Amino acid sequence: MNAVEQPELGEYGHAGDDHVVPFQVGDLDTRGRVVQMGPELDAILSRHAYPQPVSRLLAEVVVLVALLGTSLKFNGKFIVQTKTDGPVDMLVADLTVPGSLRAYARFDETRLDVAVAAGETKPEQLLGNGVLALTIDQGPQTQRYQGIVALDGASLEDVARTYFRQSEQIPTDIRLAAGQQVLPGGNEIWRAGGIVAQFLPDAPERMRMGDLPGGDGDEIDPEAAIDDAWQEARLLVGTVEDLELLDPTVGSERLLNRLFHEHGVRVYEGVELKDDCSCSRKKIETVLTSLSDDERAESVEEGQIKVRCEFCSTEYAFDPAQFAGAD
Ligand SMILES: [Zn+2]
């Protein structure tokens, strides 16, 4: 694309960093969301100060929860969690409607050092085998909805595609990217981005997805069964480069314009994302009250009960006397 054709940033709107931008491509019966994350993501990751490969993985999980959680039409929480047997054995990110995000990772330092020294830092190598769980939690009075997919040596993108195929039966494509940007002066900040596109035609029979390779219908060409419109949308999403998802001078709207301008793309008002943990002194007080004296005694350090929020590392201190005889 030459300079004449390249629209100015902002010409098609510019929600900016940390806004999920919903879109619709009329000609292709495709809907989706795009996000570029900057300062809010950097705040979440910097606070934890995890080793770089761990932060990168967690950044992708944050983008995934941002893209999927902002589709919720009711109050609640969307949780993405991995549980695997690799050096990084747990990644958790959740979004509380409309756009409050938090996240943390758990990893084995020794195993991570060994993996990094051996150059085995691909996501599938750090995660290992296990599961990815997507949970929708609408509060204590309602049933939790949970979908679980195997995470066996696949990237988070691949696993998300599998999830939508198996659990939602909606043809879905997704791209995720995360990386560090060097600012003038040498400081590095985390950025990440992603796009999710779903094929939602009026006629449900057009949503056929073909057979998985190795499935029962091996003799059928899996591509042949896919609707032309979705074929085109998927092809276009497949051209999205990591840099386009990370570079703030590209912007979500300009990326959408590049992908879909020939097919009538419309952009809707974005959802603002915030580094905003839902922990509070009161909530932790409630948990401590429900414990026995013995259980509480285990948390006493230097005469105080100290509780650290895993998500945001905020430390809360209480006087043990406050809970005496509470149980
Ligand atoms: Zn917290």
Mean pLDDT along residues 176-199: 94
Question: Distance from the CA of 307 to the center of ligand 1, in angstroms?
Answer: 10
Cα(30) to centroid(ligand 1), Å: 37
Ligand 1 mean position, distance from CA 132 (Å): 22
Band of residue 221 on the pLDDT scale cut at 50, 70, 90: low
What is the pLDDT at residue 325? 66
pLDDT score of 1? 45
Ligand 1 center from residue 313 Cα (angstroms): 6
Tell me how far the alpha carbon of residue 293 lies from the centroid of ligand 1, in angstroms: 24
Top pLDDT among 227 and 41 is at: 41
Statement: residue 216 has pLDDT above 60: no
CA of 216 to the centre of ligand 1 (A): 47
Q: Is pLDDT larger for residue 183 or for residue 60?
A: 60
Alpha-carbon separation of residue 22 from 49, 133, 156, 256 (angstroms): 31, 24, 21, 10
- Would the pLDDT of 2 be above 50? no
pLDDT level of residue 165 (50, 70, 90 thresholds): confident
DSSP 230-249: HHHHHHHHTT--HHHHH-TT
Please report the beta strands in the chain, taking only residues with DSSP state E, as ranges in sequence order.
19-25, 30-37, 77-84, 88-96, 100-107, 130-137, 145-150, 172-182, 188-199, 265-267, 271-272, 274-275, 300-301, 304-308, 315-318
Residues with CB under 5 A from ligand 1 (ion): 277, 279, 309, 311-312, 314
State the distance from the centre of ligand 1 to the C-alpha of 217, rounded, in angstroms. 48
Q: What is the pLDDT of residue 63?
A: 98
* Mean pLDDT of the residues in the chain: 89
Query: Ligand 1 center to residue 309 CA distance, Å?
Result: 5
Instruction: Note the pLDDT of residue 131.
Output: 94
Higher pLDDT, 5 or 246: 246
Ligand 1 center to residue 36 CA distance, Å?
23
Ligand 1 center–CA 103 separation, angstroms: 9
What residues contact 13, with CB distance under 8 A and at least 6 apart? 253, 267
How far, in Å, is the centroid of ligand 1 from the Cα of 308? 8
Q: Which of 4-8, 74-78, 117-121, 198-202 has the lowest mean pLDDT?
A: 4-8
* Predicted confidence (pLDDT) per residue in 274-308, tens digit: 999 989 999 999 999 998 888 888 888 888 998 88
- The helix/strand/coil state of 112 is helix
> Using one digit for the tens of pLDDT, what is the confidence trace for 37-88?
999 999 999 999 999 999 999 999 999 999 999 988 888 999 999 999 999 9
Q: Which two tokens stand for residue 266?
A: 């419309």
Considering only residues 169 and 279, tell me which one the structure prediction assigns the higher pLDDT: 279
Indicate the range of 8-12, 222-226, 264-268 predicted with least confidence: 222-226
- What pLDDT is stored for residue 5 in this prediction? 60
Residue 229 has pLDDT above 50, yes or no: yes
Distance 77 CA to ligand 1 centre (A): 15
pLDDT of residue 222: 59
Q: How far is the centre of ligand 1, averaged over its atoms, from the C-alpha of 153 (Å)?
A: 31
Q: What is the pLDDT of residue 3?
A: 46
Separation of CA 22 and ligand 1 centre (Å): 28
pTM (two decimals)? 0.89
The Å distance, Cα 41 to ligand 1 centre, comes to: 15
